[in-house]
């Protein structure tokens, strides 16, 4: 791991004197779709939020959180000698969760609390109120790719992004088993904290220029959704060279940002899974839109019907193919 938790947290300028994070009581609540259960932690004491937000400080907090999660997850990953096997169960149909997901979720919450991060945390596994600043939300997927993680594949990662109202401001995305770590703040470019570029500014470009020669990532969550899309909605697929699916959004988003994948399409995806990758991708010049080229409404917490991510040339060709020539260009992220 390029940096441990203590090293990353030490870089954060604390807003108030440091305190030792304490375990917070939780209660289980359903989201507004009734499809998901969250553990909702009791709010911490209110803190003032009238100061200008320090994006570098928020970026350091996000990085500390993904480092903490990565250490927890790697301690349980692909360890045949581990005396404690993963405890896995389905929280809803086709929604696998393990005790590693929950441990990672706790590590992220504790790291953000230790960094005195403002706002609330909306995670795949829980919801935590940090302060009374309702404009700020940390969008978190503590283990993006539970199925590949549980079977020992590398197609998984950790996503942490900060949103103010409908704007993505800072993000950290890590693929721990591959030593890849990317982070970005709005207007501040992208930092690669992986094993190749250790904390250096990072740029990238598309590996292909023609859609017909491109491999495109495709993520559809669940057998019912696959059946629906196979019946109608995937007519664009014959126009590309190859389709890859990974059971993760963090993994293909990292490949896009690294210039290894030209585009990806996500159907029925919640912002917690995609926000971090979308924030970093946008800083690299990658387009993140709906299937007509329109902007994504990042103020939403619920499911996004379709998100198309791609390097500009490929993205334009893909959108035109998907929309039948009715794309709403120019596209914005």
> Could you state, in order of their start, the residue ranges of all structural domains in the chain?
5-202, 211-323
Name the nearest CA neighbour of 184 among 110, 278, 117.
278
Say which range, 79-83, 86-90, 105-109, 140-144, has the weakest mean pLDDT: 79-83
Q: Is the pLDDT of residue 105 over 90?
A: yes
Question: Looking at residue 325, what is its pLDDT?
Answer: 57
Confidence band, pLDDT 50/70/90 cuts, at residue 328: low
Name the nearest CA neighbour of 88 among 75, 73, 100, 70.
100
Question: Looking at residue 83, what is its pLDDT?
Answer: 56
Confidence band, pLDDT 50/70/90 cuts, at residue 92: confident
Check whether domain 211-323 has CATH 3.40.190.80, yes or no: yes
Say which range, 45-59, 175-189, 243-257, 301-315, has the weakest mean pLDDT: 45-59
**Consecutive H or E run containing 218:** strand 215-220
Q: Is the pLDDT of residue 198 over 80?
A: no
Confidence band, pLDDT 50/70/90 cuts, at residue 202: confident
Q: Is the pLDDT of residue 201 over 90?
A: no
SS3 assignment, position 215: strand
Question: Looking at residue 191, what is its pLDDT?
Answer: 83
The string over 207-244, giving b where at least 16 C-beta atoms fall within 10 Å of a residue's C-beta and e elsewhere, is bbeebeebbbbbbbbeeeeeeeeeeeebebbeebeeee
Average pLDDT for 250-271: 97
Dihedral angle at the C-alpha atoms of 71, 73, 75, 77, nearest 10 degrees? -140
**Percentage of the chain modeled with pLDDT above 70:** 78
Average pLDDT for 244-272: 97
Average pLDDT for 33-38: 44
Q: Is the pLDDT of residue 103 over 70?
A: yes
Confidence band, pLDDT 50/70/90 cuts, at residue 222: confident
Whether 211-323 and 5-202 are alike in CATH topology: the answer is no
Average pLDDT for 52-75: 96
Domain 5-202, what architecture? 2-Layer Sandwich (3.30)
State the burial class of residue 246 (Cβ atoms within 10 Å of its Cβ: 0-12, 13-18, 19+). Answer: buried
Say which range, 3-17, 133-147, 178-192, 227-241, has the weakest mean pLDDT: 3-17
Q: What are the tens digits of pLDDT across the range 151-160?
A: 999 999 999 9
Greater pLDDT, 230 or 81: 230
Greater pLDDT, 104 or 192: 104
Confidence band, pLDDT 50/70/90 cuts, at residue 56: very high
Question: Looking at residue 55, what is its pLDDT?
Answer: 94
Average pLDDT of the chain is: 84
d(CA 43, CA 23): 12
Q: Is the pLDDT of residue 193 over 90?
A: no
Q: Is the pLDDT of residue 215 over 90?
A: yes
d(CA 255, CA 220): 18
Question: Looking at residue 33, what is its pLDDT?
Answer: 41
Q: Is the pLDDT of residue 73 over 90?
A: yes
SS3 assignment, position 128: strand
pTM of the model: 0.83
């Amino acid at each position: 791991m390029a940096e441990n938790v203590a090293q990353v947290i030490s870089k954060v300028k604390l807003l108030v004197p440091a305190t030792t994070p304490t375990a917070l009581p939780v209660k289980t609540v359903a989201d507004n779709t009734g499809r998901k259960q969250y553990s909702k932690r009791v709010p911490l004491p209110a803190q003032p939020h009238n100061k200008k937000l320090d994006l570098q400080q928020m970026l350091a907090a996000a990085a500390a959180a993904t480092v903490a999660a990565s250490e927890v997850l790697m301690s349980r990953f692909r360890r045949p000698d581990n005396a404690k096997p993963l405890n896995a169960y389905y929280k809803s149909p086709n929604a696998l969760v393990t005790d590693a997901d929950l441990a990672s979720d706790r590590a992220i919450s504790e790291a953000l609390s230790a960094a005195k991060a403002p706002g609330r945390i909306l995670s795949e596994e829980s919801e935590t109120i940090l302060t009374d600043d309702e404009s700020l939300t940390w969008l978190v997927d503590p283990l993006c790719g539970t199925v590949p993680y549980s079977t020992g594949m590398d197609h998984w990662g950790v996503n942490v992004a900060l949103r103010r109202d409908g704007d993505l401001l800072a993000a950290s995305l890590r693929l721990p088993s591959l030593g890849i770590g990317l982070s970005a703040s709005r207007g501040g470019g992208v930092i690669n904290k992986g094993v190749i570029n250790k904390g250096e500014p990072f740029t990238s470009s598309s590996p292909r220029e023609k859609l017909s020669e491109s491999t495109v990532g495709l993520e559809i969550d669940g057998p019912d959704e696959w059946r629906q899309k196979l019946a109608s909605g995937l007519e664009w697929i014959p126009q590309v060279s190859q389709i890859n699916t990974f059971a993760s959004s963090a993994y293909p988003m990292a490949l896009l940002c690294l210039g290894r994948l030209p585009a990806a399409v996500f159907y029925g995806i919640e912002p917690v899974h995609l926000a971090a990758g979308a924030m970093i991708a946008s800083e690299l010049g990658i387009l993140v839109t709906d299937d007509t080229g329109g902007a994504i409404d990042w103020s939403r917490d619920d499911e996004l019907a379709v998100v198309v991510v791609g390097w500009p040339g490929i993205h334009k060709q893909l959108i035109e193919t998907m929309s039948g020539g009715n794309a709403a260009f120019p596209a914005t992220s």
